[in-house]
Homo-oligomer: A and B are copies of this chain.
Amino acid sequence: MLSLIIAESSLELVPRELQRHNSVTSYCKKMGKRPSEVLLDNSWHFAAMKGMKNEIKRGRPDIVHFCLLEACTIPLYEEDEIDVYVHTIDDKVISVGSGVRLPKSYHRFAGIIEKLFIEKIIKSEDKKLFEIKDMTFSELIDKIQPERVLGLSSEGKQSSYGEVAKLCDEDTCLVIGGFPKGDFSDSTKKRIGSLYSVEQRPLEAHVVVARILYECEKTIFM
């Protein structure tokens, strides 16, 4: 099966050292949540995040929400032709079950993912919706064992969505960065067979997900 990895995604719980920061505690009071159980979100916790390590790539759960919506509300996913994974910046991997109806509402999405970080698995009537494990990007590739790993990045070789889609078959793993700015880390790049640039300029991750999967769908379904 074709696989998609949203890699090095900007998705994590508020780390321990920030849990007592005012911007975190006041947000948690408002939302009735515990500081150890909420997603780090720079639109709420900006003040707390200032100066933290790798700041530029962290605290953007909305990016993961959009990327997953692009991947999981399309015929390719509904027809069970793609496996979807989120690899996070601190080396956890979320596998998305098949036929999951992802919440469109952000606060519901955040609620589910927060629960997932605590409980490790979310089921509905015995069907696995989401599961999270400690796993590096490299370990995830070893698990999927794809024939080829194709990454999309503005650093890659000039190509187009249509051209990259033609290279994709059921043994292909597509990798797109789930972070706002910057590039894949070296350890991720090491496991990507070929890197392609499909746009003239850097685009939002969700746009890239939508476009490449649409082209793959055309290739696979026609």
Q: A-side interface residues toward B, CB under 8 Å?
A: 30-32, 41, 43-44, 60, 62-63, 66, 69-70, 73-75, 78, 103-108, 199-201, 203-204, 206-207, 210-211, 214
Which residues of chain B are near A43, meaning CB under 8 Å?
103, 105, 107-108
Q: Flag if A204 contacts B73 (CB, 8 Å).
A: yes
CB of A214 to closest CB in B, whole Å: 5
CB of A99 to closest CB in B, whole Å: 14
Which residues of chain B are near A30, meaning CB under 8 Å?
30-32
Q: Flag if B73 contacts A207 (CB, 8 Å).
A: yes
Which residues of chain B are near A206, meaning CB under 8 Å?
69, 73
CB of A218 to closest CB in B, whole Å: 9
Task: Name the CB-closest residue of B to A204.
Answer: B73
| Given contact pairs A30-B30, A210-B214, A214-B210, A69 touches B66 in the complex (Cβ within 8 A) | yes
Q: Flag if B211 contacts A104 (CB, 8 Å).
A: no
A to B CB contacts below 8 Å, 13 in the list: A30-B30, A41-B105, A60-B104, A62-B104, A62-B105, A62-B106, A63-B104, A66-B69, A73-B204, A73-B207, A74-B203, A78-B201, A105-B106
Which residues of chain B are near A78, meaning CB under 8 Å?
201
Q: Flag if B210 contacts A75 (CB, 8 Å).
A: no
Which residues of chain B are near A63, meaning CB under 8 Å?
104
Give the distance in Å from the alpha carbon of A200 to the alpha carbon of B217 in the complex. 13
Which residues of chain B are near A199, meaning CB under 8 Å?
75
Partner of A210, one of B60, B105, B210: B210
Q: A74-B203, A75-B200, A211-B214 are in contact. List 13 more A-B contacts (CB 8 A).
A: A43-B108, A44-B107, A60-B104, A66-B66, A69-B206, A70-B210, A73-B203, A73-B204, A73-B207, A74-B207, A207-B210, A210-B211, A214-B214
CB of A59 to closest CB in B, whole Å: 11
Give the distance in Å from the alpha carbon of A31 to the alpha carbon of B105 in the complex. 16
Task: Name the CB-closest residue of B to A106.
Answer: B106
